[in-house]
């Protein structure tokens, strides 16, 4: 017996979606999956590409057939323009042939900075310091609002960027699910909303690698995919737009792809996303989630403190008749497929399952399945081509835990609602929704 999916799209404010994609009924595909039970988790929140046409594919003779390495191509560079026609310089400072490359070397760890003494050899002064440190840590609540603000260090000196939204500076608590609409929540309510949202993005909706990380991006036309994971959509994309200045056309600096790195907060934001990746890995027992050599052997370039260009490799390391074992090994996936955005514009919509009144609920509700966020790039590449290929995006959401909470895991049909947020989703279409299973 297969579960059918019915979907509808709700028009809110000035948002509209073509009626041709409003109703979709489909049978779920019989695909294997896997479910890892994670309960009673409390997540403490601390706020936090290269165009495919520029990717260089290198084939290694010692690798197995079909194995390719991905790296940026510095030999060519195309001019770029904003939507207003303003030139943007995005090219490296030197041509690839003029650029010496060095392999990144980890720092020397032979000289220890601090030695942790055995417990039986510590003195009273050491014990007093340790006791005070424990007291401070215990005093801080898990939802400490200090971790949900732009840190004070980014408000002065070289850390300061004038192109930030002034209304979102401290003491304003960050809205990690920002959708261009000011919610007007007080600090406590915003923190509570953030924690509820992160539980979904990190735990209940991200039990599989692809759900959290997004679909694998491979070399070549056949290897293209555009299905971002939970962590990329929000808090990553959402916080980019939250910090960016509303007075600028594309919410520059942090709110636009081409200008984001001009704001020093960019680097702290991305470091925190990496930290959340580490937290998510820990929730899964620190087992390696990516074993694909195409990923492990790829590399990218960066400039070090001596202005030398170095290359760094990536780190290697529903069917109602399902049995209990199948349920334990499968994650039921809701796929919103064929998402097409006609223009370079911000788009955000939330997805709910079996929602009675989607206008009164949000990410803190058990019917919430996930969110989709598209951030403006702000530039277009100028190339000698008259045709620009538009690609469609897929959104995959893990819903096994959600269906259990709704007591709908044995139902033959579920109702899916897509709700545009922030007055967006104009010029946006969706082909449909379906159910899959992921191992």
Asked whether residue 12 carries a pLDDT value surpassing 70, the answer given is no
pLDDT score recorded for residue 292:
81
pLDDT score recorded for residue 92:
65
CB 349 within 8 Å of CB 425: yes
Over residues 306-363, the pLDDT tens digits come to 555 555 554 443 455 667 777 777 889 999 999 998 878 889 999 999 988 888 888 8
Pairing verdict, β 309-313 and 101-103: parallel
Asked whether residue 25 carries a pLDDT value surpassing 60, the answer given is no
For the chain, state the CA radius of gyration.
Answer: 24
pTM above 0.85, yes or no: no
Q: Is residue 311 part of a domain?
A: no
Percentage of residues in the chain with pLDDT exceeding 90? 30
Asked whether residue 55 carries a pLDDT value surpassing 60, the answer given is no
The chain-wide mean pLDDT, for the chain, equals 75
What average pLDDT does range 285-292 have in this prediction?
77
Higher-pLDDT residue of 383 and 178 is: 178
HSE (CB half, 13 Å, CA atoms) of 313? 12
What average pLDDT does range 169-189 have in this prediction?
92
The arrangement of strands across the sheet holding 368-374 comes to: 24-27, 4-9, 413-420, 347-353, 368-374
Higher-pLDDT residue of 430 and 103 is: 430
Asked whether residue 379 carries a pLDDT value surpassing 90, the answer given is no
Q: Residue 293: pLDDT band by 50, 70, 90 thresholds? A: confident
Higher-pLDDT residue of 33 and 393 is: 393
Q: Is residue 98 part of a domain?
A: no
pLDDT score recorded for residue 348:
93
Q: Is residue 77 part of a domain?
A: no
Q: Is residue 69 part of a domain?
A: no
pLDDT score recorded for residue 45:
30
Q: Name 278's Cβ contacts closer than 8 Å, sequence gap at least 6.
A: none
Taking the C-alpha atoms of residue 7 and residue 433, their distance in angstroms, rounded to an integer, is: 7
pLDDT score recorded for residue 94:
63
Q: Is residue 424 part of a domain?
A: yes
What average pLDDT does range 198-213 have in this prediction?
92
Q: Is residue 291 part of a domain?
A: yes
What are the start-end ranges of the H helices in 112-215?
Answer: 124-139, 187-199, 209-213
Asked whether residue 10 carries a pLDDT value surpassing 60, the answer given is no
Taking the C-alpha atoms of residue 178 and residue 243, their distance in angstroms, rounded to an integer, is: 10
Beta bridge partners of 71: 56
Percentage of residues in the chain with pLDDT exceeding 70? 65
- Helical (H) or strand (E) element with 303: strand 299-303
Over residues 63-106, the pLDDT tens digits come to 444 566 666 666 666 667 776 677 777 666 666 556 666 777 76
Over residues 213-270, the pLDDT tens digits come to 998 887 777 777 878 899 999 999 999 999 999 999 889 999 988 889 999 999 999 9
Higher-pLDDT residue of 222 and 33 is: 222
pLDDT score recorded for residue 31:
37
Q: Is residue 128 part of a domain?
A: no
HSE (CB half, 13 Å, CA atoms) of 429? 11
Task: Give CA separation, 434 vs 19, 246, 333, 374, 409, in Å.
Answer: 18, 36, 8, 21, 15
pLDDT score recorded for residue 123:
87
Over residues 269-288, the pLDDT tens digits come to 999 999 999 899 998 887 76
Taking the C-alpha atoms of residue 249 and residue 178, their distance in angstroms, rounded to an integer, is: 18
Q: Name 165's Cβ contacts closer than 8 Å, sequence gap at least 6.
A: 242, 243, 244, 245, 246, 251
Q: What is the DSSP letter of 101?
A: E
Q: Give φ, ψ of 119 to 5 degrees.
A: -55, -35
Could you tell me the CATH number of the domain that includes residue 26?
Answer: 1.10.1280
Q: Is residue 105 part of a domain?
A: no
What average pLDDT does range 173-190 have in this prediction?
92
Task: Indicate the number of domains in the chain.
Answer: 1
Task: Give CA separation, 89 vs 73, 82, 92, 383, in Å.
Answer: 16, 11, 9, 15
pLDDT score recorded for residue 73:
67
pLDDT score recorded for residue 195:
92
pLDDT score recorded for residue 143:
60
CB 239 within 8 Å of CB 269: yes
pLDDT score recorded for residue 17:
45
pLDDT score recorded for residue 252:
92
CA torsion sign, 87 to 88 to 92 to 94?
A: positive
Taking the C-alpha atoms of residue 367 and residue 399, their distance in angstroms, rounded to an integer, is: 10
HSE (CB half, 13 Å, CA atoms) of 27? 7
Q: Which domain holds residue 391?
A: 4-48+148-298+318-438
Over residues 383-422, the pLDDT tens digits come to 544 444 457 889 999 999 999 999 888 888 888 999 999 8
């Amino acid at each position: 017996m297969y579960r059918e999916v019915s979907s509808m799209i709700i028009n809110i404010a000035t948002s509209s979606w073509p009626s041709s994609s409003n109703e979709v009924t489909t049978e779920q595909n019989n695909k294997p999956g896997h479910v890892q039970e994670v309960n009673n988790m409390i997540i403490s929140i601390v706020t936090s590409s290269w165009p495919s046409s520029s990717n260089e594919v290198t084939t290694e003779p010692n690798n197995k057939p079909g194995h390719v390495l991905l790296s940026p191509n510095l030999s060519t560079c195309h001019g770029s323009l904003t939507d207003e026609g303003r030139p943007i310089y995005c090219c490296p400072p030197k041509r690839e042939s003029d650029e010496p490359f060095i392999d990144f070397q980890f720092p020397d760890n032979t000289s220890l900075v601090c030695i942790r003494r055995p417990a039986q050899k510590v003195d009273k002064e050491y014990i007093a310091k340790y006791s005070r440190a424990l007291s401070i840590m215990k005093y801080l609540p898990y939802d400490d609002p200090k971790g949900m603000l732009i840190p004070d260090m980014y408000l002065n000196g070289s850390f300061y960027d004038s192109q930030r939204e002034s209304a979102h500076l401290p003491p304003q608590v960050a809205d990690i699910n920002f959708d261009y609409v000011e919610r007007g929540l007080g600090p406590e309510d915003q923190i509570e909303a953030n924690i509820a949202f992160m539980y979904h993005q990190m735990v209940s909706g991200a039990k599989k690698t692809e759900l959290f990380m997004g679909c694998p991006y491979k070399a070549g036309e056949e290897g293209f995919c555009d299905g971002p994971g939970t962590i990329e959509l929000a808090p990553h994309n959402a916080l980019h737009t939250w910090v960016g200045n509303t007075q600028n056309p594309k919410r520059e600096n942090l709110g636009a792809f081409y200008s984001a790195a001009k704001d020093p907060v960019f680097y702290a934001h991305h470091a925190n996303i990496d930290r959340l990746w580490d937290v998510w890995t820990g929730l899964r027992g620190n087992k390696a989630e990516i074993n694909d050599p195409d990923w492990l052997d790829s590399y990218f370039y960066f400039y070090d403190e001596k202005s030398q260009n170095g290359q760094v490799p990536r780190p290697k390391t529903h069917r109602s008749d399902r049995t209990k074992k199948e349920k334990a090994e499968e994650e039921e996936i809701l796929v919103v497929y064929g998402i097409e955005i006609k223009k370079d514009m911000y788009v955000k919509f939330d997805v709910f399952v079996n929602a009675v009144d989607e206008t009164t609920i949000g990410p803190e509700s058990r019917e919430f399945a996930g969110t989709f966020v598209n951030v403006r790039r702000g530039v277009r590449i100028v190339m000698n081509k008259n045709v620009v290929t538009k690609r469609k995006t897929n959104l995959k959401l893990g819903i096994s835990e959600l269906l259990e909470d709704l007591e709908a895991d044995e139902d033959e049909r579920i109702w899916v609602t897509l709700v545009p947020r922030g007055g967006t989703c104009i010029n946006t279409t969706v082909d449909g929704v379906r159910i899959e299973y992921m191992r």
